[in-house]
Structure 1
Amino acid sequence: MGRSGPIFGRLLAWYLFFGAFFFPLMAAVGAPPPRYRDAGLSVEERVEDLLSRMTLAEKIGQMTQIDRSVASPEALIQFAIGSVLNGGGSAPSPAADATEWADMIDGFQRSALSTRLGIPILYGTDAVHGHNNVVGATIFPHNIGLGAARNEKLVERIGRATALEMRATGCPYTFAPCLAVCRDPRWGRCYESYSEDTEVVRSMAKIIAGLQGTPPPRDHARGYPYVHPWGRSVATCAKHFAGDGGTTGGVNENNTVADYPDLFHVHIRPYLDAVAMGVSSVMASYSSWNGVKMHANTYLLTRVLKQEIGFQGFVVSDWEGVDRIGPDYKNSVKLAINAGFISDLTDLVLSGQVTISRIEDAVRRILRVKLVIGLFERPMADRSLSGMLGHAAHRTLAREAVRRSLVLLKNGEGRGKELLPLSKTASKIVVAGIHADDIGLQCGGWTITWAGGPGNTTHGTTILEGIKASVSRRTEVVFSEEPDEHFVAANADAAYAVVVVGERPYAESQGDDPVLTLPREAVRTITTVCRRIRCLVVVISGRPIVLEPYVGAVDALVAAWLPGSEAGKGIADVIFGDYDFTGRLPRTWFRRVDQLPMNLGDAHYDPLFPFGFGLSMNIPPPDLSSS
């Protein structure tokens, strides 16, 4: 996100905006309207006119982003704040609807518009798999699932749906997509990565076109930010530049050791695609490259990203990313500004340690994005879009995304021994596992709160509900979260069991895992049920985990990743044979953690299931001609 983590530590999160954003509204009494207010002028003419009218304090204010929890009218006006965000779990109320979110954001906007220049704020949120901070929004599969689907048109459609749901709440800016190339599943952000393969990540970057719209090829200069002017698209942020998925040991915020050609070919190339599609901003990574913190890396942020790649948008820091450069905050501000607060940055400019040209480059980029996105013409929420939040069409799309993301890893031991597709007319079936009937667990991290959590955290369909809705009315469905031997013995006559197990929700560093084993209750459930009943095991996880000890004990095995709010219907569509499996592994499924890191092409490549693996049931596709 504009952070990427919980709201703790400083309530006031000063965010570096090295890029593009904003334009003013007030002129001296009796003076002609300022040129920056003239929508008939070019973006660059308006930017330069506005920049020429700004004081140093107003310029620094535009470079500052604060959390909604401290965005009082007084703060917004006094410091001419340029941007407000909600960190993970920060919301106007625990179950705020679209109207409450829009009211809050419009309130911030009114304060910004009342300042001397009337520059609107850019409000940002982490809409990383749908508008996931908002109760009732459609929650799509996390990126690793979309990487398994490998469908550019699908992710573009997801981008358009997400943008509409964001605009329904008045939010015009998302800290997404994550273009990390995760090279080690021990990394706690692995599910935010589409794949271990750079080419798959590049392909999935097409979600930017869905979120922002597609720039006209003739008019779009390389590196220039673009957002479709119709007011139903949003500004985007490609993150985390660069190399965050390649840290040593998969440790979050750690050091990526690589020469520049390797860094470029594996981790930087997706950003070339993002810039070519007009991405509005790029977020610097917490991680380091060969010992240099990315937030202070002049070579990569200035020379490579801005000069060589030609990026014309703005660079934004991650949550408290400046603080993490080092213990001396003022020196950290200097390093971050020169690589790419308020009182410290003012002192640094006045003392000559940060040049005014460096400040103006950042502000020019920020204003550019604000003008491109049309904030001056449309600063307030479009209330006609409120019905787009959780729209039925978007839930249908999420259901399709679940279907396409599922990867069939095992189905019996040979011809005639397949378990899938499951019968809808069996007299009795067993469903087991704590993940089978829990919206929060199937959605994972970055869902309503930063780390996510179990329970009915938002609206959707659980896997158990999807199964019950698919089988015959005469089928008895017997469910247990943690079945014991007595339960299994009493239901040993069931035709089959669907066992749903996996990881608990997590985000970022709390998800770093050096062992990647299933929770104990999951192992017990698999061994207890599958010993007596033919079973399909559905794994809910943000990455490959240790499965080799259990593969021989199960009849069928499906990787469902973190499928989101429509998991129940989407999974049922496939396991009962209405659709076939089409997903392919977006990353290597290892045998043992001592093999890690292990990626396709490595000399020691010996996976349980290789990159790109995925079985099918060989059923004919559904007849959609009458639908």
Structure 2
Amino acid sequence: MANELLPPYRDATQPVESRVRDLLSRMTLREKAAQMTQIERRVASPSALSGLPVGSVLSAGGSAPRERASPRDWADMIDRMQHWALASRLGIPILYASDAVHGHNNLYGATIFPHNVALGAIRYEKVLEDLVFLVESGRISMSRIDDAVERILRVKFVVGLFEYPFSDRSLFDVVGCKRCPSEATFSDQEYSYAIVAIGEDAYAEFLGDRTELGIPFDGATMISLVAGKVPTVVIVISGRPLVLEPELLDKIDALVAAWLPGSEGGGVADVLFGDYDFEGVLPVTWFKSADQLPMNAGHNAYDPLFPLGYGLRR
């Protein structure tokens, strides 16, 4: 009986397509244009989100609730915006986006995948006005607008955003490195092999300057812990050779220099699991210690860990 009091788009028992059509039929042109619009976090306000049903909000590069914001800070901010959006005439929840294809780099402690990306934002009011003008002038048909808005609404219904618009706070404890392997990891379960990825943050030019070239983020300890328990492949993610101590190399079974693979880092998995063959060879000499630098092939004192051109090839 309760569902009879709800508009069809609010009724979770209704088919998704029925909900999409019902909600679309209730929307004005400005509301449809707003649903197609993404605004940057810095301009998101109660009036911006409750006045019109903006489709999504974006955190562009460096745009965060505060410096070194925690998962709870992010959840509080996004949920607050969601409350504003739900107060709009039709109560359409927002999608929240982070401009970070290399990992949620705006969230302190989150996993970062090495990739450099240009970050952008969008001007909300100008886009909204332009869309409305183009439709009203006949340069864009209403059917085209409806098709675009249907796609946006369909995603929101399919992912359950109308029923569950707020953050899942049970996930706070899995952000960061709290689940790194420990002695308990190996006491609870037996493993046939392990893959350990260690290395540097992504960087370019002088931002990567360091006074020493050891494995950062306690990577050597991680290798020792895991490789002492189970056969181990180590993937080194770096923009240059790093110091690999002999005792570490003695413990591991294979070493992959992945460099900084960008958004195509999945290619490392392709060769690691045999979908493709390893074909690369070292484009530089891999030194034993930083004291040997500079080191160039052909020099009399050339005594590298791995020489120029070294690699696994068929």
TM range (shorter): 0.5 to 0.7
Equivalent residue number for residue 578 of structure 1: 251
Equivalent residue number for residue 122 of structure 1: 95
The answer to whether structure 1 residue 384 and structure 2 residue 82 are counterparts is: no
Q: Which one of 319, 323, 326 corresponds to residue 120 of structure 2?
A: 319
AA partner of residue 387 (structure 1): D
AA partner of residue 238 (structure 2): I
Structure 1 Cα separation of the partners of residues 251 and 33 of structure 2: 57
Q: Which one of 600, 609, 614 corresponds to residue 312 of structure 2?
A: 614
Q: May I ask how many residue pairs the two structures share in their alignment? A: 242
Query: Contact conserved, 1:582 with 1:614, CA < 8 A, in 2?
Result: no
Structure 1 Cα separation of the partners of residues 36 and 86 of structure 2: 17
Q: Can you list the C-alpha shifts for 1:229-269, whole angstroms capped at 9, x where unaligned?
A: xxxxxxxxxxxxxxxxxxxxxxx9xxxxxxxxxxxxxxxxx
Residue 443 of structure 1, CA deviation: 1.1
Q: Can you list the C-alpha shifts for 1:155-183, whole angstroms capped at 9, x where unaligned?
A: xxxxxxxxxxxxxxxxxxxxxxxxxxxxx
Distance 1:371 1:576, change over 3 A: same
Query: Contact conserved, 1:349 with 1:355, CA < 8 A, in 2?
Result: yes
Distance 1:118 1:463, change over 3 A: same
AA partner of residue 540 (structure 1): S
Distance 1:454 1:43, change over 3 A: same
Structure 2 Cα separation of the partners of residues 83 and 113 of structure 1: 13
Equivalent residue number for residue 352 of structure 1: 138
Query: Contact conserved, 2:40 with 2:122, CA < 8 A, in 1?
Result: no
Greater relative contact order, per chain length (Cα 8 Å cut-off, separation 6+): 1
Q: Which one of 229, 238, 250 corresponds to residue 540 of structure 1?
A: 238
Q: Which one of 73, 92, 114 corresponds to residue 142 of structure 1?
A: 114
SS in 1 for 2:18: helix
Q: Which one of 390, 398, 402 corresponds to residue 197 of structure 2?
A: 402
Equivalent residue number for residue 179 of structure 1: none
Query: Contact conserved, 1:574 with 1:581, CA < 8 A, in 2?
Result: no
Query: Contact conserved, 2:196 with 2:223, CA < 8 A, in 1?
Result: no
Query: Contact conserved, 1:444 with 1:453, CA < 8 A, in 2?
Result: no
Q: Which one of 40, 43, 60 corresponds to residue 33 of structure 2?
A: 60
Equivalent residue number for residue 477 of structure 1: none
Tell me the TM-score normalised to structure 1 length.
0.34
Structure 2 Cα separation of the partners of residues 374 and 110 of structure 1: 16
Q: Can you list the C-alpha shifts for 1:442-466, whole angstroms capped at 9, x where unaligned?
A: 21159xxxx995699xxxx953844
Structure 2 Cα separation of the partners of residues 402 and 468 of structure 1: 12
Residue 69 of structure 1, CA deviation: 1.0
AA partner of residue 368 (structure 1): R
Structure 2 Cα separation of the partners of residues 463 and 351 of structure 1: 59
Equivalent residue number for residue 93 of structure 1: 66
The answer to whether structure 1 residue 463 and structure 2 residue 216 are counterparts is: yes
Q: Can you list the C-alpha shifts for 1:261-317, whole angstroms capped at 9, x where unaligned?
A: xxxxxxxxxxxxxxxxxxxxxxxxxxxxxxxxxxxxxxxxxxxxxxxxxxxxxxxxx
Residue 86 of structure 1, CA deviation: 0.5
Q: Which one of 37, 52, 56 corresponds to residue 79 of structure 1?
A: 52
Residue 108 of structure 1, CA deviation: 0.4
Query: Contact conserved, 1:98 with 1:389, CA < 8 A, in 2?
Result: yes
Equivalent residue number for residue 201 of structure 2: 443
Residue 114 of structure 1, CA deviation: 0.3
Residue 32 of structure 1, CA deviation: 3.0
Identity %: 43
Distance 1:321 1:97, change over 3 A: closer
Structure 2 Cα separation of the partners of residues 46 and 573 of structure 1: 63
**Structure 2: segments with no counterpart, 5+ residues:** 186-193, 225-235, 259-266, 268-278, 285-307
Query: Contact conserved, 1:466 with 1:572, CA < 8 A, in 2?
Result: no
